[in-house]
Every structure is written in C-alpha cells, then in structure tokens.
C-alpha cells in the first residue's frame, strides 16, 4: 500500500517541491524530504490521507511556509567556524587533507613533474639554481617546465576541488 502511494505521489511531489523551493529559499530536495517525513508520520498515526494529491500539495506549501519563517531568523556565518581558530582540530584536519590531496596529485604527474613539484614544495625553499642543479636541468628551462607542470597539476586537481557555484 505505502509503496504504491509513494510511487503515485513521487512525480507530483517533485514538481510541487521544485515549484515552491525558489520562493521560500529552500532546496527542492529538502522540501521533498520534509514532506516524505510528514507522510510517514501521518501513516503511523492516522493512516493514509483521504485525498493524497490534495494532502501532498498542502504539505508542500506548509513546509515551504515553515522554511520561509525559519530562514528569516537564520543568519549565515561571516566565515566558517573552523576558520576562527586556526589552531583548532578542524583547521588542522582540513589543512592535512589539503596537503595529502596535493601530494597525491603531485605523485600522479607525468615525466619530471613530480620531482620538480616536490622540489618547489620543499620546506627548505630552494632557489631555482639549487632546484636546477638537483634535477640536472638548465636553470633557463626551469620556468617553462614549472609552468607546464602547474598546468598538469591544475587539470588533475580541478575535478576534486572545483566550486559547484554558478558562473557569471
């Protein structure tokens, strides 16, 4: 019974949630989840609604109103809470994860790039002359090689760290 009800209401719920979400500042998926939860609560207490499509439309609008009311009182952080305390465990964990991701990507680079990038990232802060001597290449070719390696690194890291926001 409930599987049939869910299957019958799903397309309507998706359409209603997508229609109401922009006006209330919520994500359509959040509205959908809230309405499914309300339906489960109702099924446990009162049984299925007499007219499921009408109930569903009212439930979506009710959740949209609730979301609009609560969003009036919510304020976004100026910065991430983890950024406030640079020595906190969150900051240390995020920094370590970024370093690991960078080192893993450097190891996947082609040709001489891994050795060059490791030398550039070394804590000793080597000069171009020292890096060229260590790698056995001319100092003049170090800049173009570095540029090519950074381009490769950028292409490797872009899918992992690309922003999911709209452009323009």
- Which residue ranges of the chain lie beneath pLDDT 50? 163-164, 168
| pLDDT for residue 46 | 87
| Nearest C-alpha neighbor of 63 from the set 85, 43, 34 | 34
Tell me the CATH architecture of domain 89-161.
Answer: Orthogonal Bundle (1.10)
| pLDDT for residue 121 | 87
Give the tokens for residue 71. 């969003």
Alpha carbon of residue 120 to chain centroid: 29
Ranges of each domain in the chain: 2-73, 89-161
| Nearest C-alpha neighbor of 116 from the set 146, 140, 161 | 146
| pLDDT for residue 168 | 47
CA 76/CA 9 separation, integer angstroms: 34
| pLDDT for residue 84 | 55
* Residue written as token pair 């599987």: 3
């Amino acid at each position: 019974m409930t599987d049939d009800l869910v299957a019958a209401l799903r397309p309507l719920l998706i359409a209603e949630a997508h229609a109401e979400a922009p006006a209330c500042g919520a994500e359509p998926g959040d509205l959908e989840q809230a309405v499914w939860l309300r339906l489960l609560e109702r099924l446990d207490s009162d049984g299925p609604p007499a007219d499921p499509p009408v109930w569903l439309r009212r439930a979506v609008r009710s959740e949209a109103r609730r979301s609009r009311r609560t969003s009036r009182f919510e304020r976004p952080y100026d910065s991430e809470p983890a950024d406030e305390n640079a020595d906190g465990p969150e900051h240390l964990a995020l920094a370590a994860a970024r370093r690991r991701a960078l080192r893993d990507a450097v190891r996947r680079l082609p040709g001489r790039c891994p050795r060059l990038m490791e030398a550039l990232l070394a804590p000793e802060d080597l000069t171009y002359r020292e890096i060229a001597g260590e790698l056995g290449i001319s100092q003049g070719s170090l800049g173009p090689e570095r540029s090519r390696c950074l381009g490769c690194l950028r292409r490797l890291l872009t899918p992992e760290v690309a922003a999911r926001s709209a452009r323009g």
